[in-house]
Structure 1
């Protein structure tokens, strides 16, 4: 088995906690992009590693070798001219590992398909529920006494708010809440959530990025709302009051719909009320070191997967007599 396949599969053990630590020291928008990109790179690298591992084992099967016009004795000799896959013919480890990789790929494919179907179904039901409500542009008001408000992605995206939520807030707080949900739509924050969910489906260790990403997106929208209304205390009051009003609401909103009432609300309110002091020289150096470590993890994971793919390609060409 090619040792280049190991780093993409194990790198999330180190990269996930490093990414979480770095994101905690960044502005919300930068943190959201960092976490989403980290999840995407690690998921793509680990999935490619599984594909290559399964392909490596499949090439040892005579029907597959014949289909690819491979010279099977050369492929299984595993000695000369096979690049990084010099041990390709070591069936003792390669075949069981390839079988496990094939099963994992099948499970991932099924989970991703199911998640995509569930996501589309939830959005369809949510949009159908807003079909008969009072709508004004991007705003859709549901006649419901339960307080709730969320940003519903789609074409066009809509801010869905219930009459119960409107009654629970004062006029200025309503404006801040709507600005928060409008920021979710403008920033396409649902795409970040989808990327994180699919990445976690591809590699279980990447589930650790979902909570900090959700928090970063809510903080991003909080800051946008504070800028829109020009009052951080008003934005904090709107978030807190909306969360208190919706705490007993059994919401049926889609999983990709973001709402100001979710996440660690007290922590978000505190962040709005108390400005973060600028980082000192020591903190800045520590942040740069953590960023360098994370960049190294991502580069190593991606480079190892690409190198393994190149090695397999070269091995197949040699086995084809090219």
Structure 2
């Protein structure tokens, strides 16, 4: 366990150095849907494995404390290396880390739900609605997908400023893009990425490529719905230009962010718009054998570390279980050797 338990904690540290550059290239080559699923799965596996490793460290340290050993009828001397003092330090550090991470997850979850509820109330009373479309009276060009509650469909919120900035066909592209976010439940992918980033800070670096993959997924859905990739690219470019050139447009990370728009709301104007437009206009270009194999190679490289983390956590748990049986005077069938 001494070595295996650290693997799930250290692997996510490589994400900013290895996984993010790989996924940036993979997002260009892989199908956006596959890239989004792969990134979400990778983030969740690494985050949950690291959390399990912290729990194992806390338990292993606590078992070396005399009063805990007495409660479990253990012999601390048979648990392996380490003293009661080192066990107390390890248990305390791991418990503090788990408490802080748990508090961060709860805080972000509550903030997200609070923002969603406020945005739904604003959308319900801000202006006319037709089906899943809600028009908000605002000169600032903006549009985003607002997820609904269980049993209630989401809504597309668009401002009058954005409607004036686009032609009728371009508006249909924008609506198709935002509708793809709702039907694909892309907010759940973002929520999973936020959860992973809260459980292990190093995994926050995966949020940007994940958001990009989700926007590309919606771009492709809009292009398929309209049947015109050039129109889709032009509509996204014009919408982003209008949104970012507005004098009063606040940054998503700034203190003057529009309180009516949730932080995790997906929008066609977000992310690396030039790269998305280029991907739309160049997606029909023929690819050689090397380019066809590259996405698979990148996907394999991206997911290589995914099974290592949970396997290491399981191995550490098996080692700890064997050590507990030995400390209780039992003879495990398959004792772990290190």
- Whether TM-score is above 0.5 comes out as yes
Range 5-14 or range 207-216, more displaced: 5-14
Alignment correspondent of 1:243? 240
Range 54-63 or range 254-263, more displaced: 54-63
SS at match of 1:260: coil
Alignment correspondent of 1:212? 209
Alignment correspondent of 1:103? 96
Alignment correspondent of 1:311? 319
Structure 1 residues 160, 15: closer, same or farther in 2, change over 3 A? same
Q: State the distance in 2 between where 1:285 and 1:272 align.
A: 20
- Please report how far the alpha carbon of residue 91 of structure 1 lies from its aligned counterpart in structure 2 after TM superposition: 4.6
SS at match of 1:259: coil
Aligned length: 311
- Contact 2:15-2:205 within 8 A present in 1 as well: no
- Please report how far the alpha carbon of residue 223 of structure 1 lies from its aligned counterpart in structure 2 after TM superposition: 0.7
Structure 1 residues 274, 290: closer, same or farther in 2, change over 3 A? closer
Alignment correspondent of 2:254? none
Alignment correspondent of 2:264? 256
Range 238-247 or range 169-178, more displaced: 238-247
Alignment correspondent of 2:273? 265
Aligned counterpart in structure 2 of residue 126 of structure 1, from 106, 119, 122: 119
Query: Is the counterpart of residue 174 in structure 1 residue 136 in structure 2?
Result: no
Q: State the distance in 2 between where 1:266 and 1:7 align.
A: 38
- Contact 1:19-1:294 within 8 A present in 2 as well: no
Q: State the distance in 2 between where 1:259 and 1:139 align.
A: 14
- Contact 1:4-1:305 within 8 A present in 2 as well: yes
Alignment correspondent of 2:137? 143
- Please report how far the alpha carbon of residue 276 of structure 1 lies from its aligned counterpart in structure 2 after TM superposition: 6.1
- Contact 2:193-2:206 within 8 A present in 1 as well: yes
SS at match of 2:304: helix
- Contact 1:141-1:163 within 8 A present in 2 as well: yes
- Please report how far the alpha carbon of residue 318 of structure 1 lies from its aligned counterpart in structure 2 after TM superposition: 3.8
Query: Is the counterpart of residue 152 in structure 1 residue 146 in structure 2?
Result: yes
Unaligned runs of 5+ in 1: 79-85
Q: State the distance in 1 between where 2:169 and 2:41 align.
A: 35
Q: State the distance in 2 between where 1:233 and 1:277 align.
A: 13
- Contact 1:239-1:265 within 8 A present in 2 as well: yes
Q: State the distance in 1 between where 2:304 and 2:168 align.
A: 49
Query: Is the counterpart of residue 65 in structure 1 residue 90 in structure 2?
Result: no
Unaligned runs of 5+ in 2: 251-257, 331-338
- Contact 2:148-2:154 within 8 A present in 1 as well: yes
Structure 1 residues 314, 116: closer, same or farther in 2, change over 3 A? same
Query: Is the counterpart of residue 226 in structure 1 residue 223 in structure 2?
Result: yes
Give the alignment's Cα RMSD to 1 decimal. Answer: 2.1
- Contact 2:12-2:202 within 8 A present in 1 as well: yes
- Contact 2:49-2:313 within 8 A present in 1 as well: yes
Q: State the distance in 1 between where 2:87 and 2:292 align.
A: 45
- Please report how far the alpha carbon of residue 293 of structure 1 lies from its aligned counterpart in structure 2 after TM superposition: 3.8
Alignment correspondent of 1:7? 7
- Contact 1:15-1:297 within 8 A present in 2 as well: no
- Please report how far the alpha carbon of residue 213 of structure 1 lies from its aligned counterpart in structure 2 after TM superposition: 0.6
